[in-house]
Each structure stands twice: as structure tokens, then as C-alpha cells.
Structure 1
Amino acid sequence: MMENKSTEKLLNRLNKIESESQLTKFINSSSPQENNYLLSEYILKICKAKGYNKSTIIQNSDIYRTYGYEILNGKKSPSRDKLLQICIGNGFTLDEANRTLTIAKLGILYAKYPRDSILIYAMNNNLSIIDINILLDQHNFKPLGES
């Protein structure tokens, strides 16, 4: 496993690959163990450490109960905004939220995007989902939960 390899080392190794079989071997050996977590498992792991059960996670997220359980049971893949609601509502750090977005293949929060900048600011300042939606609306962006 290449769990602690830096991105630069991985890129150097990738640049030396000359065949599809080598590429397949690289892909199969270069994924960190943490990437093997299913999205739902990662969310539950973070929330369990905070003392939250599934019901509390869903309540904190301000999402429909049935849909929330489907996400937490791994049956549904949430949109980026729904996933952010889960992260924000349950007090994830910015790093935890970005890791969650990465596992879901939904793209991390990116400071160059104005809407993402607002979300980063809000997370760093522990704003609630309601306060974040007010802030997004004030800047003419779609609130969380409208997707």
C-alpha cells in the first residue's frame, strides 16, 4: 500500500507508466485505505465520535428523515448540497467536510468559487444551516437544501 505517499511521488510514478496493465496496477495499489470507506461509513464514523446516532444526524442536517436514512444506510448518493447539510449540521471541520465530499466524488469546497467561499467562511465560524442560507441569499446564491 502507498498510504503515506505524497501526491508528488504518486505523480512521478504515474508519469513513468507506459502500459495499461501498469496503469491498472498503479490504480489498484495507490488508493489510500481511507478511500475504501463508503460514504455512509465515513459520515457515521465522524458523527459517532461526536456522540450522534442516525436520528440526531438527520435532525441536525435539516433533511427529510427517509432520505437521510437512505443516505446513512448507503442506499442513496446525496447531492453536494445535501452532503454539505449533513457536514455543516453535524459540526464537521472543513477538513472532514472536504474528505466527505472527496469520498462522494463531489469536489471539495474551493475558495475561488464565491459560493464555496461563503460556505468555507460559515464552517470556519460555526454558522448554522439557517444562518448560512441567509448569508447565501444575501449574496444571491442558492441556499442549501434547494436541490
Structure 2
Amino acid sequence: MKKRTTDHLQQELMDSPDLARFLTKNENLFVNKSIAELLNQLFERKNISKAALAKQSGMSEIYLHQIFAGRRNPSRNRLLCLCYGLGASIEEAQELLKLCGMAQLYPKLKRDAIIYYGLQHGLGLFEINDKLFDENEETLF
């Protein structure tokens, strides 16, 4: 079976007169992973310990372990902190936000543009928080 793009799936959804049939037909295409599963996938691709990740993400190890165990769901800000801690690329961060059902970074918003810039240029979380603060924008933590 040929792989179907998101655009194709969206068009099929718009054209479908029967939602139940569309859902049944495309069941295997829906993302069914928890935030913890998605984060664990990204974490496994990075060369970092959870202790270092907690420190670089500005959160306690206990809270971090709760997130990775699926007992806590992080806010968008905390998810972005984890992206900084993991050294995630823009593409990885955007995909993670999207799959977690959160708004992707939108460069037309000043705050998001600053966060985007930091990820793109490999800046640290604390440096980005300082830039957000300097621009009178809400910090990530």
C-alpha cells in the first residue's frame, strides 16, 4: 500500500460523507503514542543521561522521571525546556509539539521567534530564558 501524506488524508477527510467509515479505514494511520513514548523515542536518539537532561531542562529529576514514566504530562513550556535539554533540532521540536497536540512554534509570534532562534542556533535554555526576559516575554520556566 502506498504511503499517504497528511495532505492526502486531510483531503480524504474533507471529501468523506461518512466519518465513521473514514476513521475505520484510516485507523492504522493515526498517531497513538503518549507524550512519554514520544519523549522516550527522542531521548533514545540523544547521547545524554536523565540526570544531565533534568539539569539542562531546568527541572527536578523526580519530575523528569514522572514525565518519562507517563505519570505527568508536561505543559508546552516544559516540553520546550526538554527540547532544549535534549539539544533537539527545530524539526524534532516541531514534530514533538505537533504529535503531543500542542501548538508548534510560530515565528510570527515574538516569543516563539525567540524560542525558535534559540533551538536553531543551539543556545542553552538559560540563555533563551534571559533573552525572553530581556524582551519582556514570558520565560519558559
User: Alpha-carbon deviation of 1:26?
Assistant: 4.5
Partner of 1:14: 13
Compute the RMSD of aligned alpha carbons: 1.9
Measured in 1, the distance between the counterparts of 2:42 and 2:72 equals: 19
Pick from 69, 72, 97 the counterpart of residue 68 of structure 2.
Answer: 72
Select 1:104's aligned residue among 100, 106, 124.
100
Which consecutive unaligned segments of at least 5 residues does structure 1 have?
Answer: none
TM-score (norm 2): 0.88
Question: Residues 29-88 of structure 1: CA distance to partner in whole angstroms, max 9, x if unpaired?
Answer: 432xxx333222222222222222322222221112221111111111101000100001
Cα–Cα, structure 1 residues 106 and 8, in superposed 2: closer, same or farther, change >3 Å? Answer: closer
In 2, the alpha carbon distance for the partners of 1:121 and 1:54 equals: 25
| Partner SS state of residue 36, structure 1 | coil
Tell me, yes or no, if the aligned pair for 1:14 and 1:26 is still in contact at 8 Å: no
The structure with higher relative contact order (CA 8 Å, sep 6+) is 2
Distance 1:63 1:22 in 2: 44
Ranges in structure 2 where 5+ consecutive residues have no aligned partner: none
CA gap of 1:90–1:8, structure 2 versus 1, over 3 A, is: closer
Q: CA deviation at 1:11?
A: 2.3
- Between the aligned partners of 1:59 and 1:44, the Cα distance in structure 2 is 17
Residue aligned with 1:24, SS: helix
Note if 1:86 corresponds to 2:82.
yes
C-alpha separation in 2, matches of 1:113 and 1:22: 38
Q: Which runs of 4+ in 1 moved over 6 A?
A: none
Q: Please say if residues 105 and 116 of structure 2, whose CA atoms lie closer than 8 Å, have aligned partners that are also in contact.
A: yes
Distance (Å, rounded) in 1 between the aligned partners of 2:53 and 2:32: 22
Matches for 1:28-43 after TM superposition, within 5 Å = 28-31=27-30, 35-43=31-39
Identity of aligned residues (%): 26
1:54 to 2:50 alignment: yes
The answer as to 2:112 corresponding to 1:113 is no
Q: TM-score, normalised by structure 1?
A: 0.85
